[in-house]
Amino acid sequence: MKIKLLRLLVLGAILSLGFTVPLSKTLKIDKQKSKITVKGTSNLHEWEESVTSFDGELNVKKEDNIITSYNASTLNFYSKSISSSNSIMDNKTQDALKVDKFPIINFKSQQIREVKDLKGKKQIVVIGNLTMAGITKAMEVDGISSILPNGGVYFEGKKEISMTDYGIDPPTALLGTLKVGNKVTIIFNIYFN
């Protein structure tokens, strides 16, 4: 009986010293604030499209209500929502991505590494897998993250990819006289809350 009481007193003393247990929390993308853009080139001009429908989440570890580390993230881009101000280009993009067969472009992180502290921001590397048009490839995405005043996270970064790595033939138009370049850059400005 005395041993049990002593154990309870020791446990109570440890807990009263401010010992905290890290908690895991899942943050969701704020779709209103976030923006994802795809940029590329052609033999005539540069072009840009926006991803207008996407979702995702970021799992973080918190201690004393402060984010101490990033655990994992998942992003889904809905292929049919990639659009520009040009309907012909939109149709060519959808055909190239085979949107009826592969409606979702998915990125799932395996690891998020902090590289450098930048005075309130962190340079990070997100390591994961991108699945597009049915093909999955490992990739690393460099970016900058910051903790927002509301406890959320902001992430900005960009990644250049080759369409042919994912079995996508760069679109052409005007009987082949307009040719899109193989490399595109995906630009992320994502808010998680």
**Per-residue model confidence (pLDDT) at position 186:** 96
pLDDT tens sequence for the chain (193 residues)? 566 655 655 545 454 455 445 578 899 999 999 999 999 988 888 889 999 999 999 998 877 666 777 888 999 999 999 999 888 888 888 999 999 999 999 999 999 888 788 888 889 999 999 999 999 999 999 999 998 888 899 999 999 999 999 999 888 777 767 788 899 999 999 999 9
User: Cβ distance 60 to 28 under 8 Å?
Assistant: no
**Per-residue model confidence (pLDDT) at position 77:** 95
**Per-residue model confidence (pLDDT) at position 90:** 87
Biggest alpha carbon–alpha carbon distance for the chain? 90
- Superfamily of domain 21-192, CATH level 4: Lipid/polyisoprenoid-binding, YceI-like (2.40.128.110)
